């Protein structure tokens, strides 16, 4: 993915998020991915005034349903990281992969190569604990001349590949 695309404001989809360099894709193959937990989340979101008037809604918020998948990803070196992926569920794989997504990984690569740009795009899964963990990575852009910027680390890529391969299982369990 071109660096220019990372600066765009529109959130990435699952399909766009996996547009990483070949090295990360190859390294993700050695990761062992385990789905640890499925969380269900209802979040109030605002509706644009124009849409609100079309549907004659007096309330400008809707309750939106999201699923958060918590993965444990371990490598052959013995390191284990937690990955969180939030999206709106859809039983159709093509629609699911076109879904806007929020991700988080606790690995240093994600923190220093991906978090800042994902936060700017609205694709960073944020909570009080992730904000503490990421600290300055949320506000200080990495120098693209010194740091290879990527939309996701190998752990997130491995989890999205897991989702792609296990869509039927997810649909039954969401």
Query: Strand pairing partners for 70?
Result: 37, 84
Q: Quote the pLDDT of residue 56.
A: 60
- How far is Cα 151 from Cα 170, in angstroms, rounded to an integer? 24
d(CA 45, CA 30): 38
Residue of 110, 90, 93, 95 whose CA lies nearest to 156: 110
Determine the number of helices (DSSP H) and then strands (DSSP E) in the chain: 10, 4
**pLDDT value, residue 64:** 83
- Give φ, ψ of 83 to 5 degrees: -120, 135
Q: What is the pTM of this model?
A: 0.82
pLDDT average per 10 residues of sequence, the chain (174 residues) = 51 79 82 94 72 59 88 91 91 74 93 90 91 90 76 90 86 80
């Amino acid at each position: 993915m071109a660096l220019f695309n990372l600066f765009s404001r529109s959130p990435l989809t699952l399909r766009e998020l996996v547009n990483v360099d070949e090295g990360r894709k190859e390294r993700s193959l050695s990761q062992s991915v385990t789905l640890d937990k499925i969380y269900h989340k209802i979040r109030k979101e605002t509706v644009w005034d124009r849409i609100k008037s079309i549907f004659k809604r007096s309330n400008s918020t809707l309750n939106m349903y999201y699923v958060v998948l918590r993965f444990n990803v371990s490598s052959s070196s013995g390191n284990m990281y937690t990955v969180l992926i939030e999206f709106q569920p859809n039983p159709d794989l093509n629609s699911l992969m076109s879904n806007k997504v929020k991700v988080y990984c606790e690995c240093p690569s994600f923190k220093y190569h991906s978090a800042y740009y994902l936060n700017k795009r609205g694709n960073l899964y944020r909570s009080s604990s992730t904000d503490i963990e990421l600290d300055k990575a949320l506000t200080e852009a990495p120098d693209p001349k010194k740091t290879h910027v990527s939309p996701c680390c190998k752990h997130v890529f491995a989890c999205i590949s897991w989702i792609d391969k296990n869509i039927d299982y997810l649909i039954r369990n969401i």
